[in-house]
Structure 1
Amino acid sequence: MNEQVSFTLRGRNPDVLTCIANLSNDEVFTPPELAGRMLDLLAQAWATDHGGDLWANKTVRFLDPFTKSGVFLREITSRLTLGLAQEIPDLQERVNHILTKQVFGIGITRLTSLLARRSVYCSKYANGAHSIAEGFASDAGNIWFERTEHTWAKTGTLGKCTFCGASQAAMDRGEALETHAYAFIHTNHIKTRMTEVFGDDMQFDVIVGNPPYQLNDGGYGTSAAPIYQLFVEKAFDLEPRYAVFVTPSRWMAGGKGLDGYRAKMLADKRLRNIVDFPKLYDGFPGVKIRGGISYFLWDSEHNGPCSVQTLWDGQPMGPTVARHLDSFDVLVRRNEAVPILEKVQAKAEPAFASRVSSGKPFGFRTFFHGKPDSKKLKEPVKLFGSRKVSWIDRSAVTVNPQWIDKWKVLMTAVQGTSAAVETKFLSKPIIAEPGTACTETYLVAGHFDSEEAATFCAQYLRTRFVRFLVSLRKATQHATRDVYSFVPDIPLDQEWTDAKLYKRYSLTHDEIAFIESQVAARDAELFDTDAADEVDDE
């Protein structure tokens, strides 16, 4: 074999895997630099635990069960090729051993399986004339793909897949199109599935990769449900020594249907490291993943706190701290925020969330609009809606009609933009006088008998202190009732300022500086008195 063969393509400019576009929302390719960071973390853990070089071990078996571009398998192969040079001096023998005995993958689609084989074997056919591997009998080699079908559970005419929740109406598309029924999660017996795929009783030491993120679930509009958690859980069921995955960070504080997954992850003492990229587009340049992304190292033999590190523009921000993740019901992402939150919770005050309504506080959808004026209405009620005010008759309000004649504070249920950094976290409050209601564009963040009390509430919600506590639970642009759960429900009998609140909770100079570095000051206008935009520009 030619000794000049390159397995990393580093001599080429640019690396082809930095240039390819993502195929869909669930097929986000991992940048080679990020894959390298993840494997560096794995190698450090291995060296600490085993006192040796992971890449010089010819017995370790790796699996990427959701390979797309093949970047992880390619980088692993490259590192093993260098690390095993003394153990297996002959290059061709070394490469054959690595590719046939150590490196395995499962493609998520036919196209990505071909792409991964091209990245790893330098040929879309593992046994082809241009493949750098010798000895494979099949085209696939150790990067497997076969079409898998969903298992539809009937609910009426069409249903959802019992394994991944995909919508039959959206994904039952015939032979010509991909099913996106990923083989790794469409099974009740993952170890048996691995035997079926690779033809042996497979035990993997390391499972690594970037799983598909979401699938159309048949909800309203373009509704999609996360599925990355299903891949993570199946990987854990394979009982590897280590698992290293990159996923969206929404699971830390929110995410559709992720409550159970979050609870399990926070309680899992085998989580050894989390590296978090909260800034939009950081980690995956050019890819909008609201809430950011993160990768973690799971170690089956670890039993203790998890080391949490935040990266901003690729650089460490603040200290790396080992802490128990289940101290709160969500993962507080910034280490600097933890002692602040502990001081707040030490007072054991009730949560402001108890004042906040659920969605659709008066039963009206966002797209509902009343009449342009109050003429001809027997008992007119002013309706705050999406970007405008309209009028309805009192008899139309069947949900919480007792709130109509209260003073109310309204907050938009969506707050955020496409900016890479969110700094406001909540919209400007609206003081809604008696004789008013709202659509689900807003939440009712408290109802009161007097304008003064409503004003004090609005002033409180405008503080940096409150918006900082909201930010700890707000993973996306959605500002639901839950994001107010860390905000204390203090007496609204005075004007609350940040200075008063910092003193009330005995915050230090550094803690105050951290809050004010994360949350922008509001302009001089205290609150809106008319309908606000759904999205507040940053």
Structure 2
Amino acid sequence: MSMQASFALRGRNPDVLTCIANLSNDEVFTPPEFANRMLDTLAEAWAADHGGANLWADPSVRFFDPCTKSGVFLREITHRLTEGLADEIPNLNERVDHILAQQVFGVAITQVTALLARRSVYCSKHANGEHSIARSFDDAIGNIRFDRTEHTWLDGKCRYCGASQKTLDRGEGLETHAYAFIHTDDIKARGAEIFGRDMQFDVIIGNPPYQLKDGGHGTSAAPIYQLFVEKALGLDPRFAVFVTPSRWMAGGKGLDRYRERMLSDKRLRNIVDFPKLYEGFPGVKIRGGISYFLWDRDHEGPCTVQTFWDGKPTGPTVTRHLDAYDILVRRNEAVPILEKVRARGEPTLDARVSSRKPFGLATNFKGKTSPSGLPVPIRLFANQRVAWVARKEIPINTEWIDKWKVLMTAVQGTSAAVETKFLSKPIIAEPGTACTETYLVAGHFDTEVEAGNYARYLRTRFVRFLVSLRKATQHATRDVYAFVPDLLLDQEWTDAKLYKRYGLNEEEIAFIESQVAEHDDTLFDEAAPANDDGE
């Protein structure tokens, strides 16, 4: 036994969990280095609240991963406890057995990840197997459970997770992706059902699945990571630590209620944010980046926010209240700039910018290649081209047709690891024009001069910086303009004029210009193509 325990818990080089391939972009394995970063944050918070005590030297603390994949969290916790409990339980065999039987618990997301996690933690895919380093289990499952669960279908979707029945109602032989932890109305009862007894966990930690196809158009998928977080907090742990996509901070499909809850929860103690694509999880494309948070049941706000860039902390680490705005302003350096802008109490552009489908025409509406034969032909800005449509075919906002308009693409972004433009270049559309859903009407005007001044305003770094604070993905919908002042258009606005108007200092100006690149010398796009390479 001592040889088995020593083999399992000694340094691993190379570590197989740094090399294992992800199941998909939705079910991403956590790199061991990142898992340990999260555990360091947890240990620091525990020590601060327990008079400097070492979390890993406490034999009574229970840890739970409700979305176990590779088992990395439970493995690293076990490793730390094995070192920390050496004085408390000197015998290595007894110490390891106590940790595995009494302190670390998990619920796997699939049968495959259950076997993988048991192999990572017990050194055997069977907890009671010949090579297992645990000795107290009388079954193969141990404390890493997997129970196949079925979706509860209602009107074509699962009532718990929103999964598409058409996509995932595939019969008993295939994985359902109906995760047991979130398919319940009573999470405490579900915990007792899974482990055969009432369980109170001190620490819940994990990296939940990110999304499931929801039956929408194409590859449409709905986020589900928030469901794991909500259920975990419902178990009332002492601490909860989760890594998720950061899209919840400013946007994301179906995340409004979750965002409101998180920003108003004074028990959020730490947020560590990795905005740069691929930074947190190398090789995994998660638009908007990832972040992890520490939730502390006994904390009463505010929250410490820290940003990492290229592996190092960047900017100041600031403790602030998260509910100052309806979204989380991720970069601490941006907060004083935004406060100066908002202090003037000016109306904002979200009231001016149209909603999607400004003329009621979908992106796939093609129109005609020529105005020939059309009664009252209208020039149509469509997806990557200009077409023609009869005026009578335009169902809504027909009064805008005869106005000067400024159009912006509804999607703006690239595959680059760092976004620097945030908005496309504006298109000035003359009277007698309309557009499909590819574009938003950012504003409509009586004169070409007003339209030109507005387009120049939208090109400024200042405007695009304010947009960046709310733009979590490629989608540049109306709400991303909600921090941008709606100014009089009797002059040409430049960055220099705007910096002076809002009293920005040299440091604040430098930060804006470090985040937002200038557009090229072309003044306005004639017909900018949409660019959406998925999320």
Shorter-normalised TM-score: what interval?
over 0.9
In the alignment, residue 20 of structure 1 is paired with which amino acid?
I
Q: CA deviation at 1:11?
A: 3.5
Once the two structures are superposed, residues 98-151 of structure 1 have per-residue CA deviations (whole angstroms, 9 ceiling, x without a partner) of 000000000000000000000000000000001000010111100000100011
DSSP-derived class of the 1:234 partner: helix
**What amino acid maps onto 2:13 in structure 1?**
N
Match of residue 528, structure 2, among 529, 532, 537: 532
1:73 maps onto 2:91 in alignment? no
Q: Deviations over 1:20-63 (max 9, x none)?
A: 11112321100000000000000000111112100000000000
Pairwise CA distance, 1:522: 1.4
Instruction: Say whether residues 1:422 and 2:413 are aligned partners.
Output: no
SS for the counterpart of 1:181 is coil
Please point out which of 216, 219, 234 is paired with 2:231. 234
- Residue 14 of structure 1: how far off its partner (Å): 1.9
Q: Given that residues 7 and 77 in structure 1 are in contact (C-alpha distance below 8 angstroms), is that contact kept between their aligned partners in structure 2?
A: no
Give 1:206's aligned residue: 203
Partner of 1:348: 345
| Kept in 2: contact 1:359–1:480 (CA 8 A) | yes
C-alpha contact 1:306 1:324 (8 A) present in aligned 2:
yes
Sort the Cα spacing of 1:430 and 1:57 in 2 relative to 1 into closer, same or farther, 3 A.
same
Write the letter of the residue equivalent to 1:273: N
The question of 1:271 aligning with 2:268 is answered: yes
Secondary structure of 2:70 counterpart: coil
CA displacement at 1:10 relative to structure 2: 6.2
Q: Distance in 1 between matches of 2:8 and 2:90?
A: 19
Hey, what does 1:40 align to over in structure 2?
Answer: 40
Q: Give the TM-score normalised by structure 1.
A: 0.98
Equivalent position of 1:119 in the other structure: 120
Equivalent-residue separation in structure 1 for 2:131 and 2:68 (angstroms): 21
Partners of 2:413 and 2:390 in 1: how far apart? 32
Mapping of residues 303-318 of structure 1, within 5 Å: 303-318=300-315
* TM-superposed deviation, 1:4: 7.5
One-letter amino acid matched to 1:34: F
Answer whether contact 2:25 2:286 (CA < 8 A) is retained.
no
Shift of 1:9: 6.3
1:63 has 2:58 as partner: no
For residues 88-487 of structure 1, what are the structure 2 equivalents within 5 Å?
Answer: 88-153=89-154, 155=155, 159-487=156-484
Deviations for 1:253-298, whole angstroms, at most 9, x for unmatched residues?
0000100000000000000000000000011000000000000000
SS of 2:117's partner is: helix
- Across the aligned residues of Structure 1 and Structure 2, the Cα RMSD in angstroms comes to 1.2
Provide the rounded CA distance (Å) in 1 between the counterparts of 2:262 and 2:8. 34
Q: Which amino acid aligns with 1:534?
A: A
Aligned to 1:40, the other structure's residue is in SS state: helix
- The alignment-based identity, stated in percent, is 75
| 2:512 corresponds to | 515
Distance 1:369 1:193 in 2: 51
Return the letter of the residue paired with 1:179.
T
Q: What is the CA deviation profile of residues 421-458 of structure 1, one whole-angstrom value per residue up to 9, with x for unaligned ones?
A: 00000000000000000000000000000000000000
Query: In structure 2, how many angstroms separate the alpha carbons of the residues matched to 1:475 and 1:205?
Result: 33
Distance 1:6 1:535, change over 3 A: farther
Kept after mapping to 1: 8 A contact 2:25/2:284: no
Question: What SS does the aligned partner of 1:64 have?
Answer: strand
Match of 1:14 in 2: 14
The alpha-carbon distance between structure 1 residues 477 and 112, as it changes in their structure 2 partners (threshold 3 A), is same
Write the letter of the residue equivalent to 2:149.
T
Which amino acid in structure 2 is aligned with residue 298 of structure 1? W
How far off its partner does 1:398 sit? 1.4
Quote the Cα distance in structure 1 between the aligned partners of 2:385 and 2:184.
50
Aligned residue for 2:226, secondary structure, equals helix
What SS does the corresponding residue of 1:384 show, helix, strand or coil?
strand
Amino acid in the other structure paired with 1:287: V
Residue 7 to residue 368, structure 1, CA distance change in 2 (3 Å): farther
Question: Quick one: distance in 1 between partners of 2:351 and 2:420?
Answer: 25
AA in 2 matched with 1:308: V
Change (3 A) 1:43 1:314: same
Indicate conservation of the 8 Å contact 1:8/1:74, yes or no: no
The DSSP-based 3-state class of the residue aligned with 1:225 is strand
Stretches of structure 2 that go unaligned for 5 or more consecutive residues are: none
Asked whether the equivalents of residues 9 and 79 of structure 2 are also in contact (C-alpha less than 8 Å), the reply is: no
Q: Give per-residue Cα distances to partners, 1:219-266, cap 9 Å, x unaligned.
A: 111110000000000000000000000000000000001000000000
Partners of 2:532 and 2:85 in 1: CA distance: 55
Name the CA distance, whole Å, in 2 between partners of 1:247 and 1:435: 46
Amino acid at match of 1:103: V
Contact 1:9 1:15 in 2 (8 A): no
Contact 2:4 2:131 in 1 (8 A): no
Contact residue 406 and residue 447 of structure 1 kept, 8 A = yes
